[in-house]
Structures are given as C-alpha cells and as structure tokens.
Structure 1
C-alpha cells in the first residue's frame, strides 16, 4: 500500500501559548494601553479557565519579549517604550572599544513624496500612495556619522507633523505614544556603498570614502510593516556591532 504523503501534519499549540496570544491580541486592540496594568493573575487565570501556573508562563513569555513588565508587589503592565528601550535594541553602533554611543539627530527635511519601488514593496503600499520622508543626520560625539532616510506610510501615520522641532530623536517611542504603534521587530540588509552628493555634504567625507548601507524594515505587534529606513554610515570611527545568541 502506498502511504499518503499529502495529509497535513497535526500540530498542537501549548495552552500557555494560546493564552499568550489572546493577551497579546487584547494589547494590540488597545484594551490595555502602554503603561496600564493587567488584571491580577488570579483574575486572568479564572477568565481564561487555566491554572495560575499556565497563566504565569504566558505572562513570563510576553515579558521576555518585552511586551510586558513585571513589577514586584504591583502586578504586570504593558511595556512603555522610552528613549533607551526604543533605541538600543535597534541601534547597533559602538566605538572601536565596544562602548555604546548615544546618537542625536539633526533633521534635514520632512516632506511628502512618491515612494520608490523598494519603499512601496517594504511597506505594502498600493498605487498612487504618497509616503512621508524624514531625512536626518545622526550625530555621535558631535560628529555626523549617519545620513538617514525614514519612510512612513501616510495611511498609518495621519497628521504626522512636518515641523522639524516636532520630530523627536527616538521615533519608535513617538510612534507608540502618538499613534499607538509599537515596533516589535526589524529585519536588516547590510552592504557597502559609495557616497552620493548628499552623503558628501552631510557627512563631510571624500567622494571615494565607502559607507555601510543598512536597509531596515520594522514591524509592529501584528507583524505589519511600520517604517522603511536606509542608513548610510561612516564607520571610520565607529563599528556596527551585533550580538548573536
């Protein structure tokens, strides 16, 4: 007898994973906003019809993913992005000695523009859709190091301010507070490129000085694209350092 090869494999999702997903969906829906406390473990376990051990396992998993924060004696709250927590999981430059450096941004322009093909594909944009371009130079130790463009969908970011002084240094924190969008993960592509005219002007480099080009797409809790970012980096005095586990 010929064995059937087209029968799908049965899968089993652990109970704590089902509870974890249910809680995350309620966070995404806005039932519990950033900084707000969830009901007690006893109440949530009763609501979902599971043991406290199962409920705690779900909460611990969300805490490891930085969706939640556990406070001793107070309970569990939805994580709030601040400058450090929104920046350093995604900013991987350090000095030659491995010391983390904190960037400051100088805004060069904020405007509406038609998207490039790369931007359209990364943000899943339809036809005839404009995007928001945020052009900025990122400074490290008062030295211009990164010439960067951040691209946002106008549909996801209505009423985004085009005033330079309203665009903050840490954009991910801004997305969460003002638009209810939390960046959960990002994918990056890294390659070497030569400087263009804007790089020469903004980074004060010679025309034959190679740059590190980092192209990033970030995603929210629902795995929908949030922004498309290109960073053209002068690594003469800084290195791109990633920790692999």
Structure 2
C-alpha cells in the first residue's frame, strides 16, 4: 500500500512540475515565480506537492531563490574541472570571472589540516577566502589553505583578488596532480549570505589537495558552489 501511495505522489508532483515548467517558459529570466499557495490553488494540489516540484526545478537550475522570493533563473554555468584556478577555467569558457576577497588570515594548523598539507600540528598556515563571481553572479565561495613556511612572501605579494595559482607558479612551484572530492551539502547562514542565496539552496562542495612534482602537498582548497547555478564537466581517458 505504501509503495502505491509513493508512486501516486511522485506522479502527481511530476505532473505539477511539467505544468510549472510550461508557466516558466512564458516568463523571462528574473521574473517572479508565483507563490506555492498560488500554484497549489491554480493546479488544485497540496502545497507539499508544489514544494516538491519546485525543489526539483531549483536543483535543475530553472528557478532561483532570492530572499523570500523565487525567480526564473538563467541557464546554469557549465565549467570544466582542471588543475588551476576557477578564474582560469571560466576564462577558457569565454566567461567573465572575478574573485572578491573576504578574509586573508594567519592560522595554526590543527591535526586534520596538518595531515592534509603534510605539516605538523601547530605549524602556520595562510587562509584566503574569496567569493567567486561569474558573469556578475555570485556562484562560489573558495577557501584556500597554504603552508606559510613554504610561501613566506606570499602574504606581501599576492593580490587576493587575483589567482593564487599564478602567484604560486611564480614561486617556482609546479602543479602536477590534484585529488578532488565532490559532495552535496547545504550552506550555513554566513555562506548563504555571501552567495546571495538562502540556506535551502543546494550546494556542491569540492575539496581539493594539489601536489607538486615531488608529491608534496601545495594547497588544500574548499570550494562551495551553488548547485542551482553551476555544473561541472570533466574528460576522462583510459
């Protein structure tokens, strides 16, 4: 019996989703989407059914939440995964990209971060946090950790708004490989505010450790991307 109920509910929200998509096709990017209550009345369904349909449309990037409002979204930004900075990857796709500095901090490595960077707990670490902006949209929040002893002059020479990869390469360091882990998550209140989103917006969390030619860790990077605005592609060969 429960399986039949679940199948019926799924079918109903899929029908509502198609109806909402037809409505979105009549609107322009940036237009406000009618409220859950209005859509539930219009399609004669429960609000939870509408909410489920809107949730899927949000993940697919058809709609976007702005504060308490929901608007029609533009196409998702598709970007290649590569060893290099976010801005470099965006420029390869012909997009504008900038980094807006948030914090530039001296830290002391805890055991977890020390293990990632090949350091001892208590060693100094540089942390750079930036909002990533593509085509005028806040799409990501990037936090980079670097061994301070390896890059003693970086704090004085690096422009936080520029790519740290270029500055690191200028120090004679060569990136040879990176290990990246991708998960889904939700932002906390601070992260959502920095990304012009809300705490219900699905996020893609990318954690990367990059290595040099001697297989020594160069950086640990945590990047949080808006799942409603970004998707990633990569090419794999045998």
Task: Give the TM-score band, short-chain normalised.
Answer: 0.5 to 0.7
How many angstroms apart in 2 are the aligned matches of 1:235 and 1:172?
Answer: 24
Where do 5+ consecutive residues of structure 2 fail to align? 1-80
Q: Is the 8 A contact 1:186 1:218 kept in 2?
A: yes
Tell me the secondary structure at the aligned position of residue 176 of structure 2: strand
The RMSD of aligned alpha carbons is 2.7
Equivalent residue, structure 2, for 1:150: 144
Structure with more of its chain in helix, by fraction:
2
Write the mapping of 1:229-244 to structure 2, written as runs, cut at 5 A: 229-244=221-236
Equivalent residue, structure 1, for 2:154: 160
Where do 5+ consecutive residues of structure 1 fail to align? 1-86
How many angstroms apart in 2 are the aligned matches of 1:89 and 1:128?
Answer: 28
Match of 1:170 among 163, 168, 175: 163
Give the TM-score taking structure 2 as reference length.
Answer: 0.58
**Bigger relative contact order, structure 1 or 2 (CA pairs below 8 A, ≥6 apart):** 2
Cα deviation digits, residues 28-75 of structure 1 (max 9, x gap): xxxxxxxxxxxxxxxxxxxxxxxxxxxxxxxxxxxxxxxxxxxxxxxx
Give the TM-score taking structure 1 as reference length.
Answer: 0.57
How many angstroms apart in 2 are the aligned matches of 1:140 and 1:134?
Answer: 19
Match of 2:209 among 217, 222, 228: 217
How many angstroms apart in 2 are the aligned matches of 1:127 and 1:116?
Answer: 5
Write the mapping of 1:96-107 to structure 2, written as runs, cut at 5 A: 99=93, 101-107=95-101
1:137 and 1:88, CA in 2 relative to 1: closer, same or farther beyond 3 A?
A: same
1:89 CA drift (Å): 4.1
How many angstroms apart in 2 are the aligned matches of 1:240 and 1:91?
Answer: 14
How many angstroms apart in 1 are the aligned matches of 2:116 and 2:140?
Answer: 21
1:170 CA drift (Å): 1.9
1:206 CA drift (Å): 1.3
1:203 and 1:191, CA in 2 relative to 1: closer, same or farther beyond 3 A?
A: same
1:92 and 1:171, CA in 2 relative to 1: closer, same or farther beyond 3 A?
A: closer
